[in-house]
Structure 1
Amino acid sequence: MTIKLIAIGKTDHKQLESLIAEYIKRLGFYVKFDFEIIPDIKNAKNLSEAQQKDKEGKLILNKITTSDVVILLDENGKQYDSVGFSELLQKHMNSGIKQLIFVIGGPYGFSQEVYHRANGKLSLSKMTFSHQMIRLFFIEQLYRGFTILRNEPYHHR
């Protein structure tokens, strides 16, 4: 199985990029992982919130096939502790799917079309984080989930 993270907009903090790269490297020991960044919408300031979500939604949906399982990182999604998240990963790996895609939307969230296509929603916290920080937090939790599944000492139970 491949796990893919799709995010809108580039990260402009070198320190975050470095940490994200470190956890992506670590993930390579456990799973095939792809991180795809969709460039920010041009002239977004001239678009309404709905127009921006619609344009971003079309770009997101172009990256997804019908056989992919898609989980949106959304403030209204289900919350897990790290062990519960690792169990969710194991469940998807056991199901035989080819690709599990997690998506971080733009500043206004997702279009209705993206919500309709999604197979689920995941919230990392009730708190709000920047779209750049959430990338690092999610990838670290993904790594942590695999170390839990392998009973490795990274996660102290």
Structure 2
Amino acid sequence: MNILLICIGKTDEKPLEELISKYEKRLPSHWNYQRIEIPDLKNRKNLSESQQKEKEAELILAKINPTDFVILLDEKGKQLHSTVFAASIQELMNLSVKQIVFLIGGPYGFADEIYARANRKLSLSQMTFTHQMVRLFLVEQLYRAFAILQGKPYHHE
């Protein structure tokens, strides 16, 4: 199985990038994890919010295959306990999903065509975080899901 994280913009804070890399290195090799950072749009100050979302959507959709299982990280998504998140990853593996794609959008979220393409929406919290911090939290939860699926001790359970 492949896990792909597509996000808009790069992580420009070195301490966060180091933490993200730390957890990415802990992910199992058989998950074939990859992070793709789509560069911020040029001249975005000259674009409206909807124009930015549309241009970002074009760039994102170019990276997604028709058979990919797409999960948006979205404030209106479903919140899951870590064990339920792990079980959902296992369920997708059992269904022989070849590639799970997690999407972290730009500052204005996603265009309608991205919502239409998504298979699920996931929220990490009701609180608001920077998009860079969301990358760290997601990758840590992927690592935690792997640990849970391996039967390793999980927190206080």
Give the TM interval when normalised to the shorter protein: over 0.9
1:43 aligns to what?
Answer: 43
How many angstroms apart in 2 are the aligned matches of 1:156 and 1:25? Answer: 24
How many angstroms apart in 2 are the aligned matches of 1:69 and 1:155? Answer: 29
How many angstroms apart in 2 are the aligned matches of 1:129 and 1:156? Answer: 26
Instruction: State the percentage of identical aligned residues.
Output: 60
1:69 aligns to what?
Answer: 69
Tell me, yes or no, if the aligned pair for 1:147 and 1:155 is still in contact at 8 Å.
no
Give the TM-score of the pair, scaled to structure 2: 0.97
Map 1:49-88; keep pairs closer than 5 Å. 49-88=49-88
2:74 aligns to what SS in structure 1?
A: strand
Deviation at 1:23, TM superposition (A): 0.5
Deviation at 1:32, TM superposition (A): 1.4
**Which runs of no fewer than 5 residues in structure 1 stay unpaired?**
none
How many angstroms apart in 2 are the aligned matches of 1:7 and 1:154? Answer: 28
Map 1:112-127; keep pairs closer than 5 Å. 112-127=112-127
Q: Does 1:11 align with 2:15?
A: no
- Equivalences, count: 157
Between stretches 145-154 and 33-42, larger displacement belongs to: 145-154
1:93 aligns to what?
Answer: 93
1:115 aligns to what SS in structure 2?
A: helix
**Which runs of no fewer than 5 residues in structure 2 stay unpaired?**
none
Give the TM-score of the pair, scaled to structure 1: 0.97
1:24 aligns to what SS in structure 2?
A: helix
Q: Which one-letter code corresponds to 2:44 in the other structure?
A: A
Tell me, yes or no, if the aligned pair for 2:28 and 2:146 is still in contact at 8 Å.
no
